[in-house]
Structure 1
Amino acid sequence: MSIRKWYLIHKWTSLVCTAFLLMLCLTGLPLIFHEEIEHFTGVVEAPPMPEGTPNASMDAVAQAAREQRPHEVIRFMFWQQDEHPDVTLVSMAKSMDASPDDSNLVLVDSRTAKVLDAPPPDHGFMYVMLKLHVDMFAGLPGMLFLGLMGLLFAVAIISGIVLYHPFMRRLDFGTIRREKQARLKWLDVHNLLGVATLVWALVVGVTGTINTLSQIVIMVWQSDQMADMVAPYKGLPPPARLGSLQAAIEVAKRAVPDMDVSFVAYPGSMFSSPHHYTVFMKGNTPVTSRLLRPALIDAQTSQLTDTREMPWYVKTLLLSQPLHFGDYGGLPLKVIWTLLDLVTIVVLASGLYLWIKRRQHTEQRMTELEHKHAAIAKGNGL
């Protein structure tokens, strides 16, 4: 393919996605530090107690949440020991099929089964940043659109690499032509910063695109592996009464002894069936902690129905998330992610500046040519 074709690919893919990529970079900055912002804004935490204090029964925790919100049902219970130690986060809603945006949280002390907080839905700054970053308040269509922008960004990066090679044959690496006009100086800055961050930008762009497919991946998993696991219950009426949640968790722990509990999906929720508690287990190493394994426990008998490794497409989604968010290396990695994000903003903004300047330069040249031709025509008496 000719250099001119690569230039056109780079130009138009960059132009189409730049505004949305700038929005994603800007909204991503506070999301990198969401844990620190939550603590700074006063999220309630469990009070200190002697180390080794045992947890209460999860049945008691669930009952405390129901008493706090008696007109709602529990859909999920999850734990974030690193972010919120000794706190069970109970996700509740008016019904099992309510929108995820209509969920309410109840924070319960895992050791005492006492409610710590039942905050109203948060529609503040961080909520707005998250929604803009995830789907622009447009649901699945918004997610898929941002995924397309991520693909265009990846194409823009690859085409930029192709263009950079012949460009650098005339200059030493890292050259910034400060003595030249501003457009050439910013072209050098754009190229240098783009090359310096291309691996990070490509990884974040591709993993971001994968993350936009999360709802589709979940639907495929539900119709594939989950449907196969619950096939023996097909056509049966849902149980009139649920059995012990604590018993279900203990059965899951025995079935998958080398993993820890990540979250529990209640019967009838989107990650379970009407007949099961689905206990999602996670690994206990930096890599395997990102992978989940569902254990289906009969909600009436507390017997294990099935447990399997997630299929490859779900694993791909789960492993792409830490690469995108940079949340697996503590504060130092978050700082690195922030710096790379800021550099990417400069690359995007400088690319937009160069396009505007090039258009202005082209229009100026066209105007000059028109005036020249008019003067020639006038001199010839035409």
Structure 2
Amino acid sequence: MLSVIGSSLVGLGVAILYATWRAALPRHGRVIGWASIALGTGVWSWATGADRGIAIALIVLCISALCCVAVSGSIAFSTPQEKTKTQPKKNKRALGDQRSDDAGIARSQSVGWMASKRLSWLLTAGPVAALLALSTALASHQMLIWAGTLPENALVTELFLFPVLWGFLTVWSLMAQSFSGNTQTVAKKKNKAKTVQRALSAHGVLGVAIAAGLYLVCLSGTVSVFKDQLEVFEQRKEIPQVSALNGEELLKASREAIKLDPDTKHLVVYPPTQKKNTAIVGTDNRSHYADAKGRLALQKVHPWSSFLIDLHYYLNLPHSFGMIVVAIFGVLLFGMSLSGLLAHPNIVKDAFSFRRGKSSRLMHTDIHNRLSVWTMPFHLSNSLTGAMIGLASISAFAIASLNYEGDTSAVFAPVFGSEPPVDLRSAPIARMDLALLHVQENYAFTKPVLLVLHDPNTEGQYLQIFAEHPDRLIYAEKYNYNRDGEFLGTVGSADGSIGQQVGDSVYKVHFGSFGGMPVKIAYALFGICLLFIIHSGMRVYFLKRQAREKNTAGMYGAWLGIALGAPSALALTLPVSLVLPLTQAQLQLLFWLGLVLAVCFGFYRGYRSDSRAALAASPVVQQLV
């Protein structure tokens, strides 16, 4: 009931802001609108906890605003514009004016040279900005440690500062370079106009540089929101339905899994929950679905889902390198959001506006801006959390070299807990049944979602039970047990320091796994909006280039090959994997081959259309006609 009231208040606040913008209400209606949004956020926080309530209220805010944007756009685009008489322009090309041809060629060369110069500057400034950002973040980490700050708080601060400073410094360097060679123009422009123009230039350079890779990361991320559902759909045989596993059945399934993979270093169990009536028992090399009696009934096989996750995490590159590459896209997406805000000074005034009856370029610009503004919380949170996850290995290596003699596991121990000493002497499997019973009796309000047994069947084995806390953004609290099932304590993800709680919340915030299917659908909607934002931005870029130079259709065709070919290739690989027994590597090859063919076909069609247009516009052909 409280969630309905909170959503209604947030939606009402957005509706009041929209009515105020359309002048249906006086200006002080903005105060009422924002007050209603704040009140709705408070209700959500009261109902579901502060961190989770704020996140869900922001989702409701974005969806409500997108609905208002859709209404405003439909009104603007459905209202016909009054036609005005215009004087036809003289076509100098039809008259065979060679000077116009020379000017067009020179202008085309100038635009191409400027684009190459700016991209070259980005390739130089980006790594320099990364080094400066990393150095500053590490210095902040060391200063916080020396000042007596908890190590986990200092670590999370460093992980946050690194991508933020990298994105900010990259945008700042591009803005500083955009007018560096034209001091007279700078002197003539007002300060506000200079900032807007520089931000637009930086925004355009970043967009062109990362559009293709960012599109693939966002596309795969949008689909991978439904990873769990896709894995079940992809499994070709019937999955056993299990409502609960008792301790004896859990031990039986665990022993059978270890027997199939005796050299495994980890045993992983996903017990059945209210949301998912399946039990999964896995080792380092394989996973199985268990039935209600604790028997391993069906091997878990989902090559397409694994390919999808690998595409989103690593772009199908080697994992250590690919995760850093994807993290860089997150940093630059944050930089694009920052430059977009700086380039849009009238963000409140134009919150819902569409310029009716204008050119195609302005229409795509309005769509780009409106979707960007009202999905900004999603862009910022996902870009930063993704960058924090991907760049953590670089930060850990640097911090370990400074403080822990190169031991990267010691860097993350204050946040996620440390492992006990290794003792590989043989021993019976740990009493997972007693540990699970302890959680159920003493922490009944939690929901165990994952059990991880480290070094199974050894004297040093220890068990971690990951249990969700209701109404929290943390992934789970970790309850630690020895091999005899004796409780050793918790890590502190739920009630520890702010660094532990924030660090453990990054995963759920990034993947939208904190509010059930409604939040997953909302994340998928925001992901689709981001895909439209990327495409509309590239559309605006090519329309601008088309107005200034020739021969742009080939490049635009190549971009359409990515924008349309990537979803098509991704959609094609799923039914193929259901029909043919393809491996993950073969699906990767099929996807990238289809994408390359789509790009080549798009470029070829665009290039041919450019060639025909150039031939038709030539003075010789026009005289013959």
TM-score normalised to structure 1 length: 0.74
Q: What CA deviation, in whole Å up to 9, does each residue of 1:135-194 have, x standing for no partner?
A: 11220221122112111111211221121125887xx55333343322122222222222
Q: Does 1:211 align with 2:389?
A: yes
2:477 touches 2:491 (CA, 8 Å); kept in 1?
no
Q: Secondary structure at the match of 1:78?
A: strand
Evaluate the alpha carbon distance shift between residue 9 and residue 256 of structure 1 in structure 2; reply closer, same or farther with a 3 A threshold: farther
Q: Give 1:249 deviation, angstroms.
A: 2.1
1:243 touches 1:302 (CA, 8 Å); kept in 2?
no
- Residue in 2 that maps onto 1:378: none
Q: Does 1:309 align with 2:492?
A: yes
Q: Give 1:114 deviation, angstroms.
A: 1.4
Q: Give 1:133 deviation, angstroms.
A: 0.5
Q: Secondary structure at the match of 2:352?
A: coil
Aligned-pair identity (%): 15
- Residue in 2 that maps onto 1:105: 287
Instruction: Name stretches of at least 5 consecutive residues in structure 1 with no aligned partner.
Output: 94-102, 365-382
2:477 touches 2:490 (CA, 8 Å); kept in 1?
no
- Residue in 2 that maps onto 1:134: 313
Correspondent of 1:225 among 413, 421, 437: 413
Evaluate the alpha carbon distance shift between residue 224 and residue 129 of structure 1 in structure 2; reply closer, same or farther with a 3 A threshold: closer
2:197 touches 2:343 (CA, 8 Å); kept in 1?
no
Deviates more, 1:136-145 or 1:209-218: 209-218
1:249 touches 1:279 (CA, 8 Å); kept in 2?
no
What is the Cα-based RMSD across aligned positions, in Å?
3.5
Q: Give 1:228 deviation, angstroms.
A: 8.3
- Residue in 2 that maps onto 1:153: 333
Q: What CA deviation, in whole Å up to 9, does each residue of 1:108-135 have, x standing for no partner?
A: 23x4111221245x322x2221111011
2-side partners of 1:85 and 1:265: how far apart? 19
Correspondent of 1:39 among 212, 232, 239: 232
- Residue in 2 that maps onto 1:92: 283
- Residue in 1 that maps onto 2:614: none
- Residue in 1 that maps onto 2:206: 13
- Residue in 2 that maps onto 1:64: 256
Evaluate the alpha carbon distance shift between residue 37 and residue 225 of structure 1 in structure 2; reply closer, same or farther with a 3 A threshold: closer
- Residue in 2 that maps onto 1:253: 439
Q: Does 1:335 align with 2:521?
A: yes
Correspondent of 1:268 among 455, 462, 474: 455
Q: Does 1:73 align with 2:73?
A: no
- Residue in 1 that maps onto 2:323: 143
Evaluate the alpha carbon distance shift between residue 254 and residue 328 of structure 1 in structure 2; reply closer, same or farther with a 3 A threshold: closer
Deviates more, 1:55-64 or 1:208-217: 208-217
- Residue in 2 that maps onto 1:192: 370
Q: Secondary structure at the match of 1:212?
A: helix
Instruction: From the two aligned structures, give the one with the greater strand fraction.
Output: 1
Instruction: From the two aligned structures, give the one with the greater helix fraction.
Output: 2
2:221 touches 2:312 (CA, 8 Å); kept in 1?
yes
2:268 touches 2:281 (CA, 8 Å); kept in 1?
yes
Q: Secondary structure at the match of 2:454?
A: coil
Letter in 2 for 1:136: L
Q: Secondary structure at the match of 1:154?
A: helix
- Residue in 1 that maps onto 2:466: 281
Evaluate the alpha carbon distance shift between residue 337 and residue 345 of structure 1 in structure 2; reply closer, same or farther with a 3 A threshold: same
- Residue in 2 that maps onto 1:30: 223
Q: What CA deviation, in whole Å up to 9, does each residue of 1:312-361 have, x standing for no partner?
A: 55533431222222233233323222222222111111111212222333
1:296 touches 1:304 (CA, 8 Å); kept in 2?
yes
Q: Secondary structure at the match of 2:547?
A: helix
1-side partners of 2:242 and 2:261: how far apart? 28
Evaluate the alpha carbon distance shift between residue 280 and residue 344 of structure 1 in structure 2; reply closer, same or farther with a 3 A threshold: same
Q: Give 1:213 deviation, angstroms.
A: 4.4
Evaluate the alpha carbon distance shift between residue 289 and residue 113 of structure 1 in structure 2; reply closer, same or farther with a 3 A threshold: farther
Structure ranking higher on relative contact order (CA contacts 8 Å, 6+ apart): 1
2-side partners of 1:275 and 1:11: how far apart? 55
Aligned length: 338
Q: Give 1:200 deviation, angstroms.
A: 2.0
1:55 touches 1:112 (CA, 8 Å); kept in 2?
no
1-side partners of 2:393 and 2:338: how far apart? 28
Instruction: Name stretches of at least 5 consecutive residues in structure 2 with no aligned partner.
Output: 1-190, 397-406, 551-625
Evaluate the alpha carbon distance shift between residue 320 and residue 189 of structure 1 in structure 2; reply closer, same or farther with a 3 A threshold: same
1:78 touches 1:263 (CA, 8 Å); kept in 2?
yes
TM-score normalised to structure 2 length: 0.48
2:417 touches 2:491 (CA, 8 Å); kept in 1?
no
- Residue in 1 that maps onto 2:536: 350
